[in-house]
Structure 1
Amino acid sequence: MKSHIEQRAVTIAKYILEKQSTVRQTAKVFGVSKSTVHKDVTERLEEIQPTLASEVKQILEKNKSERHIRGGMATKLKYQQQKKM
């Protein structure tokens, strides 16, 4: 694997740990696709730094379990703003 890809995977993982960020938020910050972020932290990182990969996996699982709540809040906000217009 190329070193810049490995470095990106580690950098992304550390960002997710520090900010408790979602894959979508992280992708936006780093200017890459959601697929790239997901592949970096689930597949590539496992080979590079397995302990870091397991820590990130816990955060991704937490985010996954909460995503229906975030989606509901976003929808609620959308309709509240439309109602004000």
Structure 2
Amino acid sequence: MKQYIEERAIDIANYIIEANATVRQTAKKFGISKSTVHKDVTERLTLINPSLAMKARKVLDVNKSERHIRGGLATKEKYMSLTQNTKSSIY
């Protein structure tokens, strides 16, 4: 494996752990795709640093288990905003 890929995988894992970041947030921060983030953490990092991979994986698993809640809150905010804009234009 190339050196820069190994370094990126370690940097990604450290960011996920420190920032409690999601795959999407991490991908945006590093300018790479979500699938690359996932592959770096689940496959590549396991070969490089298994203990770091486990820590990052725990954070991603928690985020995955909570994503339906975050999605529901985002949808609620969206429609609350639309309702408020509609009310203000009526009056």
| 1:66 equivalent in alignment to 2:83 | no
Shift of residue 83 of structure 1? 1.1
Structure number with larger C-alpha Rg:
2
Mapped partners of 2:44, 2:29: distance in 1 = 19
% of aligned pairs identical? 62
Structure 2, unpaired ranges of 5+: 86-91
Q: TM-score, normalised by structure 1?
A: 0.97
Query: How many pairs are equivalent?
Result: 85
Question: Hey, which bits of structure 1, 4+ residues long, moved more than 6 A?
Answer: none
**Equivalent residue, structure 1, for 2:23:** 23
Distance 2:82 2:2 in 1: 48
- Give the alignment's TM-score, normalised by structure 2: 0.91
Summarize deviations over 1:36-75 as a string: whole Å, max 9, x none.
Answer: 0000000000000000001111111100110000000000
Extract unaligned runs of 5+ from structure 1.
Answer: none
CA RMSD of aligned residues (A): 0.6
